[in-house]
């Protein structure tokens, strides 16, 4: 494993630092927004702005890279993102924060596209699975670690925003100074939503709804904590639990994914998410019950994302997988834009605990639709399905396509080995 990581350590180190900065800023928006007196609806618009920018960056960054080169694009996006983070405490207005979040989302998406292109280029067919897994772990650890850094300063001052900006700036150094070349980003044209739905209705509808869930958890979790009166340290722990659950549950759900009907696993994971949200809603703010609800609700979100990708690929040819991956990433992004807006509106009208109500209802819709699809289509034999790889919802189409190609190769190799034995 050490030999595998020796060629990509600079990228992984840079990713940890940039996720520390980005993870801090996600939670800071909810903390500082509460201090500034922003409403849940206003913060929901601010949150959605990030995902509008992220979706736009995923589409435009490959064009920019082909025009001026990866190094210039990477350095420019990192600089703009660092500047944007510093500007938040200077422009404490909802409209200004929405613009800044759009900028940060665009830059973050571009950084992902560039970094993942390098990662994919540096890996071989034999090492790609391990390298991608290490990349996803680095991202998750960075987000979790960011919550701990939030306890070192006051969200009412500019200190934490400056700290996040410094981390993003520092993250660029090991990557830009590396001697390894970064190739131009190559992303397949996304499959149309109509064709994607025709190939996999469950994958398309499920990943749209999951975009709602993920954006609500990551963007509105801190807003919920602020509105029910949690301290800054408790809010940081609450957000950390959302991502810690994903780190723990990813492997067991992935192990089951290669052995069971994936629709049943999607139904079970979504039902666990809905039950966890019901627990958070009913308990009325008991601290450790909230933490447990966050652990399991967040814990099934990332595995569900990988499940939908793997399930969709089960019904596609190898030639269609890259385009389908791009279509699924786009569909997820649309859901991520809508999710905070719906949740913010509900929290504005029904109170902060509508956060759990919307999340639970969305998980329930995923579970029910999975149950319905079981009656409409026969299951693919387990030995003919693609391998599962834990891809995070933050990944760009570059990593999703690479993971899909690796999964197809692994599944084919396993089938050939079984045929020979």
pLDDT higher at 198 or 46: 46
N-to-C CA span, the chain? 28
- Residue 362 near residue 279 (C-beta atoms within 8 A): no
**Sorting pLDDT into bands at 50, 70 and 90, what band is 14?**
confident
Residue 355 lies in a domain: yes
Distances (CA, A) of 327 to 197, 265, 282, 324: 10, 23, 37, 5
Distance in angstroms (rounded) separating the CA atoms of residues 351 and 41: 11
Look at residue 87 and tell me whether its pLDDT is greater than 60: yes
Distances (CA, A) of 174 to 28, 53, 168, 268: 26, 25, 12, 41
Residue 320 lies in a domain: yes
Distance in angstroms (rounded) separating the CA atoms of residues 245 and 298: 6
pLDDT at 60: 83
Structural domain of 106: 2-180+190-420
Token duo for residue 365? 């819709």
- Report the 10 Å Cβ neighbour count for 415: 12
CATH at 117: 1.20.1250.20
> Could you read off the pLDDT of 137-152 as tens digits, one per residue?
888 888 999 999 998 8
Q: Into how many domains does the chain fold?
A: 1
Residue 357 lies in a domain: yes
Look at residue 375 and tell me whether its pLDDT is greater than 90: no
What phi, psi does 299 have (nearest 5°)?
A: -65, -30
Distance in angstroms (rounded) separating the CA atoms of residues 114 and 57: 11
Q: What is the pTM of this model?
A: 0.89
> Could you read off the pLDDT of 196-224 as tens digits, one per residue?
888 889 989 999 999 999 999 999 999 99
- Report the 10 Å Cβ neighbour count for 148: 15
- Residue 72 near residue 61 (C-beta atoms within 8 A): no
Residue 249 lies in a domain: yes
> Could you read off the pLDDT of 232-253 as tens digits, one per residue?
999 999 999 999 988 888 888 8
Residue 185 lies in a domain: no
Residue 225 lies in a domain: yes
- Residue 221 near residue 393 (C-beta atoms within 8 A): no
DSSP 365: H
**Sorting pLDDT into bands at 50, 70 and 90, what band is 301?**
very high
13-37 residues labelled b (16+ CB within 10 A) or e (exposed):
bbbbbbbbbbbbbbbbbbbbbbeee
Look at residue 304 and tell me whether its pLDDT is greater than 80: yes
Look at residue 134 and tell me whether its pLDDT is greater than 90: no
> Could you read off the pLDDT of 318-348 as tens digits, one per residue?
667 677 777 888 899 999 999 999 999 999 9
Residue 15 lies in a domain: yes
* For the chain, the helix, strand and coil percentages under 3-state DSSP, each to the nearest 5: 80, 0, 20
């Amino acid at each position: 494993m050490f030999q595998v990581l020796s060629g990509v350590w600079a990228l992984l180190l840079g990713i940890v630092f940039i996720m520390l900065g980005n993870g801090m800023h996600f939670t800071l928006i909810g903390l500082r927004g509460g201090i500034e007196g922003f409403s849940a609806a206003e913060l929901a618009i601010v949150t959605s702005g990030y995902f509008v920018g992220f979706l736009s960056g995923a589409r435009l960054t490959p064009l920019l890279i082909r025009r001026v080169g990866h190094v210039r694009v990477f350095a420019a996006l990192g600089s703009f993102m660092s500047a944007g983070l510093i500007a938040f405490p200077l422009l404490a207005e909802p409209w200004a924060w929405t613009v800044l979040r759009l900028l940060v989302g665009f830059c973050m998406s571009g950084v992902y596209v560039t970094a993942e292109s390098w990662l994919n280029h540096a890996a071989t067919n034999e090492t790609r699975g391990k390298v991608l897994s290490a990349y996803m772990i680095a991202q998750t650890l960075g987000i979790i670690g960011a919550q701990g850094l939030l306890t070192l300063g006051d969200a009412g001052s500019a200190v934490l925003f400056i700290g996040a900006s410094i981390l993003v700036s520092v993250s660029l150094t090991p990557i830009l100074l590396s001697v390894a070349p970064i190739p131009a980003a190559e992303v397949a044209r996304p499959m149309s939503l109509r064709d994607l739905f025709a190939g996999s209705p469950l994958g398309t509808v499920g990943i749209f709804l999951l975009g709602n869930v993920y954006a609500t958890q990551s963007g509105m979790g801190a807003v919920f904590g602020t509105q029910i009166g949690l301290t800054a340290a408790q809010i940081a722990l609450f957000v950390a639990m959302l991502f810690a659950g994903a780190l723990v549950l990813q492997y067991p759900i992935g192990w089951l994914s290669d052995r069971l009907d994936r629709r049943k696993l999607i139904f079970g994971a979504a039902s666990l998410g809905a039950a966890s949200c019901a627990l958070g809603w009913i308990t009325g703010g008991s601290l450790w019950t909230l933490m447990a609800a966050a652990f399991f609700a967040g814990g099934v979100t990332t595995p569900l994302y990988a499940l939908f990708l793997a399930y969709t690929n089960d019904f596609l040819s190898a030639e269609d997988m890259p385009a389908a991956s791009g279509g699924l990433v786009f569909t997820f992004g649309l859901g991520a834009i809508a999710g905070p807006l719906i949740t913010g509106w509900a929290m504005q009208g029904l109170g902060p605990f509508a956060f759990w109500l919307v999340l639970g209802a969305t998980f329930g819709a995923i579970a029910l639709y999975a149950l319905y699809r079981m009656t409409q289509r026969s299951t693919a034999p387990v030995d003919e399905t693609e391998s599962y790889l834990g891809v995070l919802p933050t990944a760009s189409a570059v990593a999703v396509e690479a993971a899909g190609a690796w999964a197809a190769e692994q599944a084919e190799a396993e089938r050939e080995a079984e045929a020979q034995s």
